[in-house]
Structure formats: structure tokens, C-alpha cells
Structure 1
Amino acid sequence: MSATARNVSGAAAVDLAAMRETAVLVLGSEARSHALPPTPMGLDAVTESLRKHLERLVVEVELKAARMPKDSVARYCAIACVGEAQRKLSAGPSPRFGGDIGHARRLARVLRALCEHYESAADTP
């Protein structure tokens, strides 16, 4: 567990609904596979929101994963998703992979995955 994860314990509750709503802005709903891209200024704001949500949720999922049994498949998957989120946060937009909107969509997809790991870990003591 990182030092950041240890320092955040006791933080305010995670707002999964707001996180998922932000992801919907660039991905569309579960029923609709694609959303219309926001305007460039709107895309910057959405991308920044996605980044903030990810930074917060990475810490929370890491904390929950640390409380899971060491040999748990769910723990392994949660930790792998945290690593993927950290890689996506450190990467920037690339013209080869869809530019700014492609980057925002990659952030939104990993945010959705982390939300799922956060919820599934809720039953862990």
C-alpha cells in the first residue's frame, strides 16, 4: 500500500454516482455505447473531473484491497486495476489513440472499472 493510501484513511465517503455520471459524459450510458464528444472546453473540464475522481478512487480501492485476503482473486484484480488507472493518469492524449477524446474515454473506462472494484470490496471487513 502506498503512503498516500495510508494517509487518506477516514476520508469522506466516495460519491460513486457522481463518478459514474462523469464517465457517462464521454462514454454514454451502459445502454448507449457512445456519447457525443463534449466541446473542447467542456472536454477539458470533464477530463479534469475524471482525473480527480481517479486520483481519489485509486487510494480508496488500494485501501480496500489491502484488507482483502492475500490470496484473493478480487484483491489481485483490484490491485491490477489500480495499476492500470495509475498508468492512464500518467499518460497523456495521443493523436494515434483518439487525441483528447480518446484519452478522456480511457480515463472514463478505468474509472468505471474502479467503481466496480470499490463496490465489490464493500463487503470486505
Structure 2
Amino acid sequence: MNATRQPTATVPVDLEKMRETVRALLNADGGPVLPEPPDTQVAVLTELLRGHLELMLREVETTVERLPDTITRYCALACVGEARGKLRAAPAARPGGAVAYARRLARVLAALCDHHELMDGEPG
């Protein structure tokens, strides 16, 4: 029996909204935006970042399945692993721990967005 694989439907991602969330914590060079946002805003941004990451992880994993074995594919998979590790981690219980954690999430989300855009142009 020869089964054909059906394409997996994915939810459209709003890369601009994701990058806007990243920009609330990081400047264009990936450094921290100062002054730091208040703790209540950091908590909201962290939850937004976590949601964006969950969506982007599924999107990148679905996209990477159609790619041949290339450096682009393996780099995207490494970034997926990094993002999963960041999601499993928790903020450090010290002053500034919550904002540092949010910034780590923001950096890995920015990287996943970059991989997603790069893979969009890859032949499948």
C-alpha cells in the first residue's frame, strides 16, 4: 500500500506581531531595551512570548519536515531544541531574573522568526 502524505495545515503566523513583542525587550542588536519595563509588563510580555514560541515551534517543525537535509534544516532544528529548553526553564529567583528570562525567550523567538523566513525561500 502506497500512502501519500497530506500537507499539514498550519496556523498563519504574524511575524510582525512576534517581532513587535521582541522589540519591547530587545533592541535591533539583540541587546536589552532600557529602561526595563515594569514587572507587570514583563509578566505579560513573558506570556506573550511563550505563546508566540509555542506557535512558532509548530510552524518551524512543520516547515522543516519538507526540507531536504541541508544546513538550513539542521540550524532550524537546533534552534527548535534551544527554544524548547528555554520554555522548560524558569526565571531565576533573584532581582532582574524575570526580565532576563523574558529576554532569553525574546532572543530565541527572534531566531525562530529568522529561520521561518529563511525556510520560506527553500525548495521543498
User: Could you tell me the TM-score, scaled by structure 2's length?
Assistant: 0.85
Higher mean Cα deviation, 76-85 or 98-107? 98-107
Percent same amino acid among aligned pairs?
44
CA RMSD of the aligned region, Å?
Answer: 1.8
2:46 counterpart residue number: 47
Contact 2:60 2:76 in 1 (8 A): yes
1:3 counterpart residue number: none
CA-CA distance at 1:12 after TM superposition:
3.0
Higher mean Cα deviation, 46-55 or 11-20? 11-20
Structure 2 counterpart of 1:57, which letter?
Answer: M
1:24 counterpart residue number: 23
Structure 1 counterpart of 2:32, which letter?
Answer: H
User: Could you tell me the TM-score, scaled by structure 1's length?
Assistant: 0.85
CA-CA distance at 1:94 after TM superposition:
1.3
Structure 2 distance, partners of 1:103, 1:74, is 27
Unaligned runs of 5+ in 1: 1-8
Contact 1:50 1:104 in 2 (8 A): yes
Structure 2 distance, partners of 1:108, 1:34, is 10
> Secondary structure in 1 aligned to 2:24?
helix
Pick the structure with more helix per residue. 1
Correspondence 1:11-90 to 2 at 5 A: 11-28=10-27, 30=28, 33-35=31-33, 36-70=35-69, 72-90=70-88
In the comparison of the two structures, how many residue pairs are matched? Answer: 115
Unaligned runs of 5+ in 2: 1-7
2:108 counterpart residue number: 110
